[in-house]
Amino acid sequence: MTATTRAPSKRRLRDRQARRASTSEGRGSFPIHTRGLTKTYGDLVAVDHLDLDVQAGEIFGLLGQNGAGKTTTILMLLGLTEPTSGSARVVGLDPARNPLEVKRRIGYLPDSVGFYTDLTGRQNLRYTARLNRIPQAVAETTIDAVLDQVGMTARADDRAGTYSRGMLQRLGIADALIKDPDVLILDEPTTAIDPIGVIEILDLLRSLVNTRGMSILLSSHLLNQVQSVCDRIGIFASGKLIGVGTVEVLAERFGDGLAHVEAGFDFDGDAQRDEVEAAIRALDGVVSVERGARHADPLTVAVRPPGAASGIRQEILAMAAREAYHLTSIRSVVPSLEDIYRRAVSRSGAADPGAVQ
């Protein structure tokens, strides 16, 4: 990137920092902050007393099946629908009272991106820049920068009607970045995209957090994608936020009270394998030791309480060194978000979570 493209970015970064400082008084550093946020449609409660805090510089995943209330929450955060009760603050502003200012400060990618198909990608971005009253000289520099950031430079001058779904999503993210937002809100951004495209989109989101320092609220029903990219996750069911935290925190709250450690060995025979298993079972805190389907598969060690897993890893390492066992690998097993989600929904008494993939 040349000096001419860096300078506006630095100025806009200073402007963003000043905006954050001027709107965060009394609300900490949460770009998104809600308390008791509720939306009803007659007898239907779409969002039920939502308390949500999205931290600066994080990707927050709002996870729930279709119809859980995720999109309604996003519409209230954007000022596109008014809450029935409760409050919301987005970059320190009330979306219901200041919807236009919130829209200027927030980048939004809906679940279905719409562009003028007879215009090129670059022309569509120019149109967005004009709508946001960005001066032409600044707009051209910004458009070049965001197209490069989302990997669309090579196709920028092709008509949008020729783009794949993944390319349209990339263009949608570029479109949301034109106004250099403080927060990016994405509603099901990877639906109907091929697996390689999904990986590229998720890598792009992490890059945006790292390079721009923005906060991202990602709404999705795709568990594996949420788990792979989000710093924290909020489990949403029947309009209620029933759990918030990292995967590890959620696993401790909604798990079965166990942690798991995988230990791989190169055994000298079945006798040594039996010997190692017996030695691990004898360790304080080990509940069970299970073999994999194949001889070369690692042993899975169940540990209670979960906090004892680190100590068990150290004891297995020490045992292997002391007894000259050939330990090839050892790691803590990341819990399945699918299992966590199903337990959380089941305990909450919400609808069956079968729609979540």
The whole-number average pLDDT for the span 84-109 is: 95
The answer to which of 21-25, 155-159, 347-351 has the lowest mean pLDDT is 21-25
Which residue did the predictor score with more confidence, 357 or 180? 180
- Higher pLDDT: 104 or 351? It is 104
pLDDT classification of 185: cutoffs 50, 70, 90? very high
Specify the pLDDT at position 75.
Answer: 96
Instruction: Tell me, yes or no, if the pTM score tops 0.75.
Output: yes
pLDDT tier, 351 (very low <50, low <70, confident <90, very high otherwise): low
The DSSP output letter for 120 is B
Residue 4: pLDDT band with limits 50, 70, 90: very low
- d(CA 227, CA 189) in angstroms, rounded, equals 15
Q: Kindly list the strands in the beta sheet with 85-90, ordered across the sheet, starting from the edge strand earlier in the chain.
A: 44-54, 32-41, 85-90
25 pLDDT above the threshold of 90: no
pLDDT at 146 over 90: yes
Residue ranges, CATH 3.30.70.100, the chain = 256-332
The model's confidence at residue 356, banded by pLDDT at 50, 70 and 90, is: low
Higher-confidence position of 159 and 201: 159
Evaluate if residue 18 carries a pLDDT over 90. Answer: no
pLDDT tens, position by position, 63-95: 998 889 999 999 999 999 999 999 999 999 999
232-267 residue pLDDT tens: 999 999 999 999 999 888 988 888 888 899 999 999
Over residues 263-286, the mean pLDDT reads 95
Q: Is the pLDDT of residue 150 over 70?
A: yes
pLDDT at 20 over 50: no
- Pick 193 or 87 by higher pLDDT: 87
Which of 11-25, 73-87, 97-111 has the highest mean predicted lDDT (pLDDT)? 73-87
Pick the CATH number of 256-332 from 1.10.150.20, 1.10.150.120, 3.40.630.30, 3.30.70.100: 3.30.70.100
Q: Which residue has the higher pLDDT, 28 or 324?
A: 324
> Could you tell me the fold of the domain covering 3-252?
Rossmann fold (3.40.50)
149 half-sphere exposure, CB direction, 13 A CA radius = 25
CB contact at 8 A, 55 and 182: no
CA distance 86 to 213: 29
pLDDT > 90 fraction of the chain, expressed in percent and rounded: 68
Asked if 12 and 19 count as a contact pair (C-beta separation under 8 A), the reply is no
Burial per residue of 257-295, b for 16 or more beta-carbon CB atoms within 10 angstroms, e otherwise: ebbbbbbebebeeeeebeebbebbeebebbeebeeeeee
Q: What is the pLDDT of residue 1?
A: 37
Residues of the chain within CATH 3.40.50.300 domain(s) are 3-252
The model's pLDDT over 224-238, given as tens digits with 9 standing for 90+, comes to: 889 989 999 999 999
CA torsion through residues 262, 263, 268, 273, sign: negative
Residue whose pair of structure tokens reads 């029947």 in the numeric block: 238
d(CA 326, CA 83): 61
DSSP characters over 42-80: TTEEEEEEEEEEE-TT-EEEEE--TTSSHHHHHHHHTTS
